[in-house]
Amino acid sequence: MTTTDRPIALHHLPRRRFAVLLPLGGIALLAACSKPPEPAATPAPAPTPTPAPAPAAEMPAATAPAQASAGTAGLPMVDPADPSAKALAYTADASQVVAASQPKYQPGQACGNCALYAGQPGDAAGPCPLYPGRQVSAQAWCNAYAKKA
């Protein structure tokens, strides 16, 4: 008589199968004994949208950059110890860059003459899209330097 000929009750349960089925039985028991989920609260009605304000008059081109630079004046400076700054080898003073360890560096490169630098010419610091919400020194340098056209 082979194992397939015997009734199911006489089959012995292998340890592996038992080890797989035991946790499943425990999960089923816990699920059966747990409380039913609370019904979802009905969402509050959405507030009515307020009408959009009238468009402001165009600012003259001469004042727009000045206001953009004034808006970034309160931003914190990039910390050279910040992980994103370390990843790009950011140095707050380009004259301190060790050319041997930074082969992309060329004398005269600085954030102030980089295509990514969004500050105004002559500003001591300005925003950079690589460090959102922070400013870089115009005298700084990083591996992402791209010469301004």
pLDDT in tens, 68-90: 445 566 889 999 999 999 999 99
DSSP annotation of 121 reads: T
Contact 138, 111 (CB under 8 A): yes
- The whole-number pLDDT of residue 27 equals 81
Percent of the chain with pLDDT over 90: 36
Calpha distance 149→46 (Å, rounded):
50
Whether the model clears a pTM of 0.85, i.e. scores above it, the answer is: no
Q: Which range of residues forms the domain containing residue 105?
A: 72-149
pLDDT in tens, 8-48: 555 666 788 778 788 888 888 777 777 776 766 666 666 66
- The whole-number pLDDT of residue 138 equals 93
134: domain CATH number is: 4.10.490.10
Residue 66, in any domain of the structure: no
Residue 91, in any domain of the structure: yes
For residue 61, name the pLDDT band (cuts at 50, 70, 90).
Answer: very low
The residue ranking higher by pLDDT, 16 or 143, is: 143
Total of domains in the chain: 1
User: Which residue type is seen at 129?
Assistant: P
